[in-house]
Chain A
Amino acid sequence: MTTFGVLTVALLVTLAASLFLGSNPVSPATVLQALLDPATDTEAIVWGSRVPRTVLGLLVGTALGMAGTVMQGQTGNPLADPGLFGVSAGASLAVVLGVFVLHVNSLGLTLALSLVGAVIASVVVFGVAALGRDLASPVPLAIAGTAVSALLGAVTSFLVLNDAETLEAYRIWVVGSLSGRSLAEVGPVVLLLAGGLVCALVNARSLNNLALGSEMARGLGESLTRARLVGLGAITFLTAGAVALAGPIGFIGLTAPHVGRALVGGDHYRLLPASALVGAVTLLACDVVGRLIGGQAEVAVGVVLAVLGGVAFVVIVRRAKLAVL
């Protein structure tokens, strides 16, 4: 079976697991019946909880896997995660401001805020790097991104530490979780993610060219500014959407591309879908584990992901032949 076949099967298995397993034990037959006929879903466990978080896991995992791949391809740096251009930090700060200053409770507004924060942060980072020198070298982008992220993070910490109520909300949000969302709320974000997805796929060929060095890329007729802008769009839309839906989950974007490269190689036409699949499978699997180990008090997916994903990643790195970027 091809790598993509295996990944697709893995995705189907985790999707099924996410629908059929949970902290509330419901028999598989009941779940199946509820899926086929929503009217029988009396306690709203299936349509109220399992289905939304399964959809959410699929979307967020895909988005982060792709965003991470674009980010590492753009910067040529294996340590780059989707939050590197300040997107996650900007979204976090905007959300904290919303809670702290505006006392926002609606998800729609939180969403809008995190998008605005993400876009502003990434535009600032891009602007700083572009003002400094040409965009041929990715290093200024990475450094500017780290600096802006740290700055935004510091402001966030300041707000959080000054107000117990904000900390209370923030410490739970910041870990990242797939629970407590309804399908209706997911709707608008799908558009955003779709935009990011298109940008990422359009960027695939440019990423392949950038991997040959900026001179070779230009020799092949690549416009560096356009390639960077499209990539930035992909990263911003995908990451902002993911953060808005599930909080700043960082680990998948960083590691899914490494796993993808080990599986299908460095060609971005294959790497982008592979990393997306790896991201979705990982996130869904970790969410299921989090539901099962915590009993009634579930463990947030961000925690499971970091702990288990970290261990798994160490194992993979020890086994794989390293593909140096």
Chain B
Amino acid sequence: MNPALHAEDLTLGYDRTVVLDHLDLAIESGTVTTLIGANGCGKSTLLKAFGRLLAPTAGTVRLDGTPLSALSTREIARRLAVLPQRPLTPAATSVRDLVMRGRHPHQSLLRPWTPGDADKVAAAMSATGVADIAHRDVNELSGGQLQRAWIALVLAQETSTILLDEPTTFLDLAHQLDVLRLVRTINAERGSTIVMVLHDLSLAARFSDRLVVLHDGGVLADGGPWDVLTPGVLRVAFGLDADVIPDPRTGTPLVVPLEPSPPAAPAEARADELQTVA
């Protein structure tokens, strides 16, 4: 079977700066994959290229085996949904109106709004728990509610692949967990392929099948959470000294950053210590 998304010899950049250089990466269908790495490593850039929001400098991205460049933007939108990092919140718009816009790729002049669309919008809203605030203005929602409304829009799009760029930014820990559990549920119930960018490594480990660490224009590590989140990888990717211990509840890796070693104590004090020991 073809991978859901396949980056082949992909080079990405803005103007003359190269962000990712000759990258190869295949995303298996039906999995949850999280891209991690330091700020500026190219996670969001890669996600944009997967979502055809950024044209590659060189190389190809394939969606279910077909190059993105061979598909019309609307065909892509029926198979792949993107939630950018900072979408604009539209003026004077209810939650339901917002979610309804996810049906756009399936509509045309000849096939306007149908009861089937309404059902899908309702299903997306109840799956994300925004059904009871359907008539509220999106500008009045809390951060967590708004993020759920955006995810509902993406769900209403009914695509087999979903790209989420930092879906947990601006949320408190409880709401971060909320959103990520929702992502897992979507993956389990709909079999969707999900690729996201996250900053919290322990949460990424807990909710992903696979982690991909980007560093220095390419893939530094790739695999299951325990294979990827090693002190060595963390030191190279983030310049961070950390212990990795099993999460007491889930058994997934938990990253515990270490304090930098304390400055050397004055010689006298050390002498005292030595004496005591002696």
A residues engaging B (CB < 8 A)? 76, 202, 205, 208-209, 211-213, 215-216, 218-223, 261-262, 265-267, 323-325
Contacts and interface: CB of A to CB of B under 8 A. Distances in A.
B97 interface: yes
Given A209-B104, A211-B93, 15 more contacts: A209-B101, A211-B91, A212-B101, A215-B48, A215-B84, A218-B52, A219-B81, A219-B82, A220-B101, A220-B105, A221-B74, A221-B77, A221-B104, A223-B73, A324-B139
A200 B157 CA distance: 24
B249 to A, nearest CB: 35
A324 B93 CA distance: 11
B94 A216 contact: no
B93 A267 contact: yes
B101 A261 contact: no
A221 B73 contact: yes
B118 interface: no
A228 to B, nearest CB: 14
A205 B107 contact: yes
B88 A211 contact: yes
Contacts of B107: 205
A215 B87 contact: yes
A211 B90 contact: yes
A282 to B, nearest CB: 20
A16 B62 CA distance: 62
A76 B89 CA distance: 12
Interface of B: 48, 51-53, 72-78, 81-84, 86-88, 90-94, 97-98, 101-102, 104-105, 107, 109, 137, 139, 157
B88 A202 contact: no
A324 B52 CA distance: 30
Contacts, number: 83
Closest 3 CB pairs of A and B: A221-B77, A219-B82, A211-B90
Contacts of B98: 212
A78 to B, nearest CB: 9
A218 B81 CA distance: 10
Nearest to B98: A212
Given A213-B86, A218-B53, A219-B53, A323 B101 contact: no
Nearest to B138: A266
Contacts of B81: 219
Contacts of A222: 73, 104
A266 B52 contact: no
Contacts of A261: 91-92
A58 to B, nearest CB: 26
Q: Which one of A202, A205, A215, A323 has the greatest number of beta carbons of chain B within 10 Å?
A: A215
Nearest to A262: B92
B89 to A, nearest CB: 8
A324 B94 CA distance: 14
B76 A215 contact: no
B87 A212 contact: yes
A216 B97 contact: no
B41 to A, nearest CB: 20
Contact of B91 (A202, A216, A220, A325): A325
Contacts of B51: 219
Contact of A218 (B73, B92, B97, B109): B73
Contacts of A209: 101, 104
Given A265-B94, A266-B93, A324-B91, A215 B53 contact: yes
A324 B88 CA distance: 12
A219 B83 contact: yes
A216 B83 CA distance: 7
A325 B82 CA distance: 23
Contacts of A216: 82-84, 87-88
Nearest to A218: B53
A223 B73 CA distance: 7
A202 B139 CA distance: 26
Contacts of A76: 88
B62 to A, nearest CB: 18
B87 A221 contact: no
Given A220-B102, A221-B78, A267-B97, A323 B83 contact: no
30 contacts: A76-B88, A205-B104, A208-B101, A209-B101, A211-B90, A211-B91, A212-B88, A212-B98, A213-B86, A213-B88, A215-B48, A215-B84, A215-B87, A216-B84, A218-B53, A218-B73, A218-B82, A219-B53, A219-B82, A220-B101, A220-B157, A221-B72, A221-B77, A222-B104, A261-B91, A265-B97, A266-B91, A266-B93, A267-B93, A325-B91
Contact of A221 (B76, B90, B109): B76
B92 A266 contact: yes
A221 B105 contact: yes
A212 to B, nearest CB: 5
B93 A219 contact: no
Contacts of A208: 90, 101, 104
Given A211-B88, A266-B91, A219 B77 contact: yes
A323 B102 CA distance: 22
Nearest to B157: A220
B64 to A, nearest CB: 16
